[in-house]
Amino acid sequence: MMDDVLHDLFLYHVARHAEAEFTPEMPELARRLGMRYRVGPDSLATPERVVYVRADASAPQRRSEAAHEISHLLTAEAQPGDPSYEEIIRWYHASVPDMQAHLEVLADHGADRLLMPEALVGAILGHCGYSGRAVWELARFADVPTEDALRRLVYFDESVKIGGFISHGGFIQSAFSKRWRLPFWLGDRVPEPHILVDEGVSLFAVPHKSRQLIGVITVGEFDAA
């Protein structure tokens, strides 16, 4: 479950995005937030508030990596005399085994909120429900990697017990779950979901990508569409 620190951190992301009029373009978002956007050999953010994005990345991956680096810089922002969210997280989450990995995961979730705002996710869920197709539509509308869209959908609503995966060639490539444990994980062969789980299952074959599936499994009243 999300604690108060993370809840406030992600609300701060949304508030800063609102100040930038929810612009969906990452170079423009960086500019409106007082950052600079550059293309370079690697994706990273500097203390001088410069966001570098890999030149060889695909368009969806470039958007994803730019938002990730912008999220790092938002987490490091602070008013004079106040601690940044990064400093607060380092204090309150000091028990995590790998703080840097923890901050990277949080930057992924922060980026998801910049790339896939609540209104967009809600509209797609209203049309598709919790389903593999919803993941694909979200990735398509937001122009982000499918893995990012899956993560956003799985973690969108704290009340939903849900898991999801992306497979290629019969093996799980990406997987996320919340409030429930998937009975399979990365590297596993794709099982027969209707045999393994007696809950709502949605499978979607990705168009134009042979043998690639998106699966979403919801538990309880939030059955998959």
| Amino acid at site 89 | I
177 strand-pairing partners? 163
| Amino acid at site 72 | H
Q: How far apart are CA 91 and CA 89, in angstroms?
A: 5
Q: What's the pLDDT at 201? A: 85
String of b and e for 100-129 (b: at least 16 CB within 10 Å)? Answer: eeebeebbbbbbbbbbbbeebbeebbeebb
**Per-10-residue mean pLDDT for the chain, 225 residues long?**
92 98 98 98 97 97 98 96 97 96 98 98 97 97 98 96 94 94 89 61 88 89 48
The residue ranges of DSSP E strands in the chain, in sequence order, are: 36-40, 44-45, 50-54, 161-168, 171-178, 200-205, 212-219
Q: How far apart are CA 76 and CA 63, in angstroms?
A: 20
- Sort residue 84 into left (φ over 0), alpha (ψ -120 to 50) or beta: beta
Backbone φ, ψ for residue 17 (5° rounding): -65, -40
**Beta carbons within 10 angstroms of residue 30's beta carbon:** 25
The alpha carbon of residue 211 and the mean position of all alpha carbons in its chain are separated, in whole angstroms, by 24
Angle subtended at Cα 168 by Cα 98 and Cα 191, rounded to the nearest 5 degrees: 85
Q: What's the pLDDT at 174? A: 97
Beta strand 50-54 with 36-40: parallel, antiparallel or unpaired? parallel
Q: How far apart are CA 52 and CA 27, in angstroms?
A: 10
Q: What's the pLDDT at 94? A: 96
**pTM for the full predicted model:** 0.93
Q: Token pair for residue 167?
A: 């497979």
Q: Token pair for residue 25?
A: 């373009």
Q: What's the pLDDT at 223? A: 45
